[in-house]
Amino acid sequence: MTEIIKPRRSALFMPGSNPRALDKARTLAADVIVMDLEDAVAADAKSMARERVIEAVSAGGYGRREIVIRINGYGTPWWKDDLVAVATSGADAMLVPKIGGADLLSKFGDLLAINGAPDHLRLWAMAETPEAILNIGTIAGADPRLAVIVMGTSDLAAALRIPPDPARTGLLASLSAGVLAARAHGLDILDGVFGDLTDGDGFAGACAQGKSLGFDGKTLIHPSQIEAANRLFGVSAETVAHAEKVIRAWESAAAQGNGIVVVDGRMVENLHADEARRALALHAAITDNE
């Protein structure tokens, strides 16, 4: 089956209770808008926020941006009403927090179907607890609707009692476990948020680290972070040029019956040609979104 590549370089959380933020999201360059009913909304505003989010999605105007709604966690007073509302809202995906195991994720998939969700409505799952990390492989394969894993690094670091550390040393094992599970099941995976809006260099470093670990993009808490995330998780002009060169050389070698070719002093095999094709496909998808 041909892989459908969607740009998810930047996924911006927007509080569902703030109509100005939901409206502003229509003009922002984020690949994904996550309309939040959970952490960003006070308990006494949950119902109102749900109504505003559903109205915003129904009104449209978000262009090619992927629209995701994060519901409240299973067992809270709001999760059932959230799920029922999101199922037929027209959103692209429902993001579920506090997923600790495969059974719970599968339950959400079943409930979406029962409540009339179209087949194309995807599930996204937060991985933000030690239990989730221990079960991440089975979670990643639990439901066919699942498309994206989102690392909840703030909650996870707190649960693991990890002190603040720009290098995220204590989280590296969990981050890599998430990437391994996502790739094993053909999913995308997004890195957690960076909370210091005054530290642009720190944010850029976190993006670079996330990309080096294999993440597809980063979750954001402010529009000021969009440009750097898009640039650092995007496909540079140099990468595009090199990918085109690799493919030309590979196709020429393959036409002559050769399985290996040297490009700029480096050996190129079929896997490198596949990587180059994916980079060009991502670049094309990004260009189409702009």
Domain boundaries of the chain, sorted by first residue = 10-232, 237-289
For 10-232, which CATH superfamily applies? Phosphoenolpyruvate-binding domains (3.20.20.60)
pLDDT digits (tens, 9 = 90+) for 8-67: 999 999 999 999 999 999 999 999 999 999 999 999 999 999 999 999 999 999 999 999
What is the per-residue pLDDT for 288? Answer: 86
Q: Provide, rounded to the nearest whole percent, the portion of the chain with pLDDT above 90.
A: 89
What is the per-residue pLDDT for 89? Answer: 98
Rounded distance between C-alpha atoms, residue 193 and residue 150, angstroms: 10
Query: Which 8-state DSSP code applies to residue 163?
Result: P
* Sign of the Cα pseudo-torsion (110, 111, 115, 120, in order): negative
User: Does pTM surpass 0.85?
Assistant: yes
Three-state SS for 178? helix
pLDDT digits (tens, 9 = 90+) for 77-129: 999 999 999 999 999 999 999 999 999 999 999 999 999 999 999 999 999 99
* Sign of the Cα pseudo-torsion (66, 143, 189, 3, in order): negative
What is the per-residue pLDDT for 2? Answer: 59
Instruction: Determine the average pLDDT of the residues in 246-263.
Output: 87
Three-state SS for 123? strand
Rounded distance between C-alpha atoms, residue 214 and residue 92, angstroms: 24
